[in-house]
Structure 1
Amino acid sequence: MQPLVSVICLCYNHARFLKEALDSVLNQTYQNLEIIVVDDRSTDNSRAIIEDYAARFPQIKYLPNEHNLGNCAAFNRAYRLSKGKYLIDFATDDVLMPNRIEEQVKAFEKLDESYGILFTDAEFIDDFGNHLHNFYKRDKNGNLAENVPDGEVFADVIARHYICSPTMMMRRTVFDKLNGYDETLAYEDFDLWVRSAPDFKYFFLDKVLTKRRIHAAQMSQQQYKPNDKQIFSTITVCKKAQKLLRTENENQALKKRVQHELIQAVFTRNFEATRQLSKLLSELGPVPVKIKALLAVCKWPLPFEQTRQLYYKLRFGL
């Protein structure tokens, strides 16, 4: 008997992409699926599209939210009604490869209960589905060209964002232990990693099984813009991580992350975030000279944001 997989599809104003996303779930080669679609009070045509699909495909459970709850609370609503052994948090602007769930379940079933999260590579696509790049660097033959940590990854997930969250399949026991996502936060993945990694191992499956769409309306594309509130959720999660530190290696990992977030706060002139991150950094040990210098000039009327934009354009082509 195949284990049940719950695919929780979260929609907020994804009308442009919704049909392709839902079709990618319905067309999976893996059959034992529980498909739950949550609309978080979309203001576009998403609800009409979902209602049409729910009427035509009885395997879809449709949960329309009366009010916009945000990703974390919207997911939790579906998670608490779901029954799957494994869970997928699927944003309906992305696309699942037809064999994604089959491949992930096959790999997960070979692992013991100590493994809680399985993740893969992803293909990044634009609004029109055109290929941009893969999440991980690969050589001309398609072989992985960078190290992807798995197993015990607490220090790794603290230090940097190296997991493509839309590729993850999670064991239900992870969410049961954590009682779902933290609904006080603006986004979920960093907090999930920090709270789960001390107790569960992660497994990297070296395959491209998801298409991750990049477009301007995404929450992730608003991060680090002036007055963005997501950074305060990041600070909250960093403080959670601080309480879970067990080794000097983990302390240094968190210090690296806090420095990165502090630099972003300075360059977007988010002074309250800068203050909170500076305090947290000092609690983790001596503050590097370069950070002290940056803090000394951060309130000067210098073109920090323009400098940051130029850096990202030169480095990433953004």
Structure 2
Amino acid sequence: MEYPLVSIVIPAYNRPHTLKIALESALEQTYPNTEIIICDDSTTPEVQEMLDPFLDSYPQIQYYKNEKNLFLENWHKCFDLASGEYINYLMDDDVFHREKIEKMIYFFENFENITLVTSYRQTINESGALIPPNYATKRLYEETRIMDGKMLGNIVLSRCLNVIGEPTTVLFKRTDLVNPFGIYKGRQYSLLNDLASWLTLLSKGKAVYIPEELSYFRIHPNQNNQTLGPKAFTEWLDIMIASRDDGFLDTNDLFKTALRSYHERIKGSPQFVADVERIEMILKTLD
């Protein structure tokens, strides 16, 4: 039996301790044909020093140290250096279940027109202990579901919640992501770089949701969605509007629901006054 190559790509940044845990979870995969691409944006040599013993022992690991900080371009570099038929990002503070790739690739190999496979992701704290899910990470379904991609996209957009998951959560086919990671309709998203790519994939075919915990999402004070600040949250409104060109939020009622969900999230916050005004103007045109 031939096993298509899966590229596990890790954009690393100044987290040698959690990166080691993430890397070990990638190396422990039951799926037999993977490569691991690590592109290091760190400002210190600690990540490289931690990786040296792994590089000597595991030829499937490819490591690249950036000469300057690339930030989101580092995600693109990971993708460009990968040679696998399938891609799974792994954040340097998250963890894979050991059967993640094996269980997810099954759907690509046995069903037609699958463009995205995701699962429940278990939240963990800074030290790795299991913690209860938050409003976005709750289990979406109790059983495995194959669904139209636009249907899943509409669930995310209408709730203003990324219930699909962070980059670690999703496996996809390389050729289905036609734009660099995080670019949607010509725009690079920062807070929603994962959702931007998920919408690209969902616009093309079907999605699979697996209720098993196949990845572990670490919540801690220094992760990107904690440090980008409230201004980046306005990306939700922009991506909702842009998604309609791909057939998402295709009725006025769905679009209104999405706008009101976003409005509910931002109401009372002075930094979002401009977005409130935009929403009110759009709603007037839909009535």
> What TM-score range do you get, normalising by the shorter chain?
0.7 to 0.9
Q: Does the CA contact (< 8 Å) of 2:13 and 2:40 recur in 1?
A: yes
> In the alignment, which of 142, 145, 166 is matched to residue 144 of structure 1?
142
Q: Give the residue type in structure 1 aligned to 2:15.
A: H
Over the matched positions of the two proteins, sequence identity in percent amounts to 22
Matched position secondary structure for 2:188: coil
CA shift, 1:155, in A, is: 1.9
Partner Cα separation in structure 1 for residue 282 and residue 196 of structure 2: 20
Q: Does the CA contact (< 8 Å) of 1:34 and 1:59 recur in 2?
A: yes
Give the root-mean-square deviation of aligned CA atoms: 2.8
Q: Does the CA contact (< 8 Å) of 1:127 and 1:215 recur in 2?
A: yes
CA shift, 1:203, in A, is: 0.9
Q: Does the CA contact (< 8 Å) of 1:149 and 1:156 recur in 2?
A: no
Partner Cα separation in structure 2 for residue 252 and residue 149 of structure 1: 25
Partner Cα separation in structure 1 for residue 223 and residue 248 of structure 2: 35
Which residue in 2 is equivalent to 1:200? 205
Partner Cα separation in structure 1 for residue 39 and residue 234 of structure 2: 26
CA shift, 1:58, in A, is: 2.1
Matched position secondary structure for 1:55: helix
TM-score by length of 2: 0.83
Deviates more, 1:57-66 or 1:236-245: 236-245
Partner Cα separation in structure 2 for residue 117 and residue 220 of structure 1: 23
Q: Does the CA contact (< 8 Å) of 1:24 and 1:97 recur in 2?
A: yes
CA shift, 1:51, in A, is: 3.7
CA shift, 1:85, in A, is: 1.4
CA shift, 1:189, in A, is: 1.6
How has the CA–CA distance of structure 1 residues 6 and 137 changed in structure 2, closer, same or farther, with 3 Å as cutoff?
closer
CA shift, 1:264, in A, is: 3.6
CA shift, 1:195, in A, is: 2.8
Whose Rg is larger?
1
Matched position secondary structure for 2:190: coil
TM-score by length of 1: 0.76
Q: Does the CA contact (< 8 Å) of 2:145 and 2:210 recur in 1?
A: no
Matched position secondary structure for 1:158: helix
Partner Cα separation in structure 2 for residue 286 and residue 244 of structure 1: 20
Which residue in 2 is equivalent to 1:130? 129
**Higher RCO structure, 1 or 2 (CA under 8 Å, sep 6+):** 2
Q: Number of aligned pairs?
A: 274
How has the CA–CA distance of structure 1 residues 157 and 196 changed in structure 2, closer, same or farther, with 3 Å as cutoff?
farther
Q: Give the residue type in structure 2 aligned to 1:150.
A: M
Q: Give the residue type in structure 1 aligned to 2:60.
A: Q
Q: Give the residue type in structure 2 aligned to 1:97.
A: H
Which residue in 2 is equivalent to 1:218? 223
- The answer to whether residue 267 in structure 2 is matched with residue 262 in structure 1 is no
Matched position secondary structure for 1:189: helix
Partner Cα separation in structure 2 for residue 50 and residue 284 of structure 1: 52
Which residue in 2 is equivalent to 1:302? none
Partner Cα separation in structure 1 for residue 181 and residue 249 of structure 2: 27
CA shift, 1:179, in A, is: 4.3
Q: Does the CA contact (< 8 Å) of 1:36 and 1:78 recur in 2?
A: yes
Q: Give the residue type in structure 1 aligned to 2:198.
A: W
Structure 1: stretches of 5+ with no match in the other structure: 289-318
For residues 48-59 of structure 1, the aligned pairs below 5 Å read 48-59=49-60
Which residue in 2 is equivalent to 1:186? 190
Matched position secondary structure for 2:120: strand
Q: Give the residue type in structure 2 aligned to 1:11.
A: A
CA deviation vs aligned residue, 1:49-104 (integer Å, no higher than 9, x gap): 2344223322111122222222x421211211212111101101111111111111
Q: Does the CA contact (< 8 Å) of 2:154 and 2:248 recur in 1?
A: no
Partner Cα separation in structure 1 for residue 30 and residue 247 of structure 2: 41
- The answer to whether residue 92 in structure 2 is matched with residue 92 in structure 1 is yes
CA shift, 1:245, in A, is: 4.2
